[in-house]
Chain A
Amino acid sequence: MTVRQVGEPDAAKAATDAGPSAASQPIDLRERNAGKRRARRREYWLFAAFAVPNVLVIAVFGIWPLLVNAVLSFTRWDFISPWPIFVGLENYRWILTSPAFLSVIKTTIIFTGAVVAASVTIGLAVALLLNQRLVGRNIVRTVTFAPHVLSGAAVAMIWLFIFDPNFGLARILFDLLGMTSPNWVAQSSTALIAITIVHIWKGIGFNAIVYLSALQGLPTELYEAAEIDGAGAWRRHRALTIPLLSPTTFFLVTVETIGATKAFDIIAVMTGGGPGDATTVLSWFIYEAAFESFQVGRAAAGAMVLFITLLGIFAIQRRFVERKVHYQ
């Protein structure tokens, strides 16, 4: 009894002192929810502080340009007059009918096709070679890969000197054959070949390294079984290595295709799109149309062609990889 009498006011006092948190359950829950909400709001703010600068830069300089570019592709503009003039499908009509643009597309396809085919197959060959136990293979691997990280402008400068018809190293090969060296970058017949060679040279190391890491992950048992069944080295390559590497091949084909369509610095330094339009690929066309001829609308339409093509390549690659490619 006494305990109760003493205890009751105490409990009441404690309840008021400690505020709502120590009181009955409904109030307690509400308070805890408010606390949770505050914590969550703090977390949102923190998320914003952590992520927004990056997201903002990507949105403004990575995603937004595509939308505006799409709009610009329906206009005529020279950067100087106050507003772009809406011209509807005029730029796209030009793109589909103009021999100049068709030549750009043709050059882009030849260049991209040659770069992709050569750098992927030579890359595989180099990877197979580097996969053998050979003394010095690590040094060769390093040497092969180095150009991939070097400035395209600098690499282009080296090769421009090598392709010099009078004093360049490439002349050695022609002297051996008893021929005169072509004036590589000054002739339309050879300029595209020259920039293609430089691109391939720069890209082989990357392809070789990716293939090499794929080769080292191949299942040993299959090869042992094949060897027991009497399959020779060549047969094992054809029946096992190439199919097993097909996911890697498709990955590299995609990456190299995208890389080749980005080609810019090597072309800028070596040929500037010329002679004539012999090395004007799509990316050079976009730059030249916008920043040298000030035909912003045409350049924007060219950029849309590039974007849609790449989107198509992504889509094909995804479907192809899902359906046809052998996974281990």
Chain B
Amino acid sequence: MNAPIIQAPSGTRRSSQVSGRHIATSVLHYGLLIVVALVFLVPLYWLFTSAFKDNTEIYQWPPVWLPSSLDPGNFVRAWQAAPFGQFLLNSALMTTVGTVAKTVLACTTAYAFVYLRFPAKNVLFVVLLSAIMIPGNVSIIVNYLTVSGLGWVNTYLGLIVPGIGSVFGTFLLRQHMLTLPRELLEAAQVDGASHLRRLVQIVLPISRPIVVTVAILAVIDEWNSFIWPLIVTNTDSMRTLPIGLYFLKAEEGGVADWGLIMAGTVFVLLPMLVIFLLAQRFIVSGLVSGAVKG
């Protein structure tokens, strides 16, 4: 499975010949591994510890690596400086509703394109796929016009609906459904199961890893989305966490209150970090599947 370049330096094959050169490679490898780990860990460590530091520790040089206490003062101040409770609620609502809608639509659409007849179905699918080539930044102006024409500016509908269409999710699920054994579905058909039942009771259970992947990718997209919520919301009561954080910093002006802002950043970042650590397998396979098939 693994190429020899993987095995060679580890020295299991020629353990009798463990040479100085070998040790040197090992030291080099571990040294690099530690450097890479630090480059990615230190900024996150810095965020979490700074969020607990009081102002004297934050504005101190050389830097204080360990905060003197785990005082949640900054979190309390951030919560009071901006309606983070409201931002959290908006983000949670947008993420939950958006993810469920996106995933359900991707599942039903993929099922329809694989198992149901429709005139010019394949042409329709190609048109759908072509939307992948149109980046969101090109669409924002017209989408803003559409949403304002619908009277949806600064509403949950405006925040959520434009994002629930899913080309990539539909594509991923369709590719997967095409590989499922037809006999399974035919047997269910003979037993008189409706299409909805076939979808819910047969196709979805055996496609669970892909469905979970599509859902998790949707969670990441919704929770982190920035440019669209920035454009379509204009009051604190509708803002999501990343937008709330952005305006909090803007209102702080030139002299940033870093303790406060780091605490706000933790509010935005922590939920996704937890989801990532729990669902890593699906996230990585989902993001890489595009690479393997692409």
Tell me which of A1-9, A109-117, A145-153 binds B: A145-153
Contact A233:B141 (CB < 8 A) given known A61-B146, A63-B130, A157-B262: no
Number of A-B residue pairs having CB atoms within 8 Å of each other in the complex: 306
Residue of A nearest to B244 (CB): A153
**Distance A66 CA – B291 CA, assembled complex (angstroms):** 26
Q: Please, what's the 1-or-0 string for A120-132, where 1 marks a CB less than 8 Å from any CB in chain B?
A: 0000001001011
Number of interface residues of B (CB under 8 A): 106
Q: Does A88 reach chain B (CB closer than 8 Å)?
A: no
Q: Which of B69-77, B177-185, B206-214, B269-277 contacts A (4 or more CB under 8 A)?
A: B269-277
Binds B, one of A95-103, A188-196, A286-294: A286-294
Option from B41, B134, B275 in Cβ contact (under 8 Å) with A62: B134
B63 lies within 8 A of chain A by Cβ: yes
B47 CB to nearest A CB, Å:
5
A167: contacting residue among B33, B63, B291, B292, CB under 8 A: B63
Which among A49, A59, A149, A158 is the interface contact of B46 at CB below 8 angstroms?
A158
Which of A143, A265, A286, A314 has a CB less than 8 Å from the CB of B242? A265
CB within 8 Å for A147 and B165 given contacts A47-B116, A58-B131, A63-B131? no
B1 and chain A: residue at smallest CB distance: A216
| Nearest-Cβ distance from residue A212 to partner chain B, whole angstroms | 9
Q: Distance in Å from the Cβ of B43 to the closest Cβ of chain A?
A: 5
A83, chain B: closest CB distance, angstroms: 12
- A283: which of B106, B137, B272 is its contact (CB, 8 Å)? B137
**Chain B 220-241 near chain A by CB (<8 Å), digits 1 or 0:** 1001101100110000000001
Chain B neighbourhood of A261, CB < 8 A: 135, 137
Which residues of chain A come closer than 8 Å to B262, judged between CB atoms? 157-158, 161
Interface residues of B in 148-188 (CB under 8 A from A): 161-167, 170
Q: Across the interface, do B224 and A55 meet the contact criterion of CB distance under 8 Å?
A: no
Which applies to chain A's interface (DSSP): helix, strand, loop or mixed?
helix
A60 touches B146 (CB 8 A): yes
Query: Are A209 and B284 in contact (CB-based, < 8 A)?
Result: yes
Tell me which residues across on chain B come within 8 A of A57, comparing CB atoms. Answer: 105, 161-162, 164-165
Question: Chain A, 50-70, contact with B by CB distance < 8 Å: what is the 0/1 string?
Answer: 110111111111111110110
Across the interface, do B113 and A51 meet the contact criterion of CB distance under 8 Å? yes
The interface residues of chain B lying within 8 Å CB-to-CB of A252 are: 291
Of residues 210 through 268 on chain A, the ones whose CB sits less than 8 Å from some CB of chain B are 210, 213-216, 218-220, 223-224, 227, 233, 236-237, 241, 248, 251-252, 255, 258, 261-262, 264-265, 268
Report A70 CB to chain B, min CB distance, Å: 10
- Contact A54–B108 (Cβ < 8 Å): yes
**Pair B2/A150 contact, Cβ less than 8 Å:** no
Q: B276 touches which one: A64, A149, A153, A215 (CB < 8 A)?
A: A149
**Does A178 sit at the interface, judged by CB under 8 A?**
no
Other-chain residue from B116, B246, B283, B291 in contact with A213 (beta carbon distance below 8 A): B291
Bitwise interface map of A from 148 to 185 toward B, beta carbon under 8 Å scored 1, else 0: 11111111011111101011010110000000000000
Q: How long is the Cα–Cα vector from A304 to B134 in the complex, in angstroms? A: 10
User: Which of the residues A154, A236, A290 comes within 8 Å of B245, measured between beta carbons?
Assistant: A154
How far is A287 from B232 in the complex, measured between Cα atoms in Å? 12
Least Cβ distance of B272 to chain A in Å? 6
Judged by a CB distance under 8 angstroms, whether B86 is at the interface is no
Chain A's closest residue to B221 (CB) is A149
The A-contacting residues of B in range 1-16, CB under 8 angstroms, are: 1-10
Q: Which residues of B contact A205 (CB under 8 A)?
A: 40
Docked CA distance A257–B232 (Å): 27
Bound together, the chains give a CA A218 to CA B2 distance in angstroms of 8
Within the complex, what minimum Cβ distance (angstroms) separates B60 from chain A? 7
Which chain B positions have C-beta within 8 A of A140?
33, 36-37, 40
Nearest residue in B to A215 (C-beta to C-beta)? Answer: B3
Q: Which of B46-65 contact A (CB under 8 A)?
A: 46-47, 50, 58-63
Given contacts A51-B113, A152-B224, contact A62 B131 (CB under 8 A): yes
Q: Indicate whether B32 reaches chain A with its CB closer than 8 angstroms.
A: yes
User: Given the known A-B contacts A139-B37, A158-B47, are A50 and B139 also in contact in the complex, defined by CB atoms under 8 Å?
Assistant: no
CB distance from B186 to the nearest CB of A (A): 15
Are the CB atoms of A58 and B167 closer together than 8 Å? Answer: yes
The reply on B90 being an interface residue by CB < 8 A is no
Is B165 a contact partner of A133 (Cβ separation < 8 A)? no
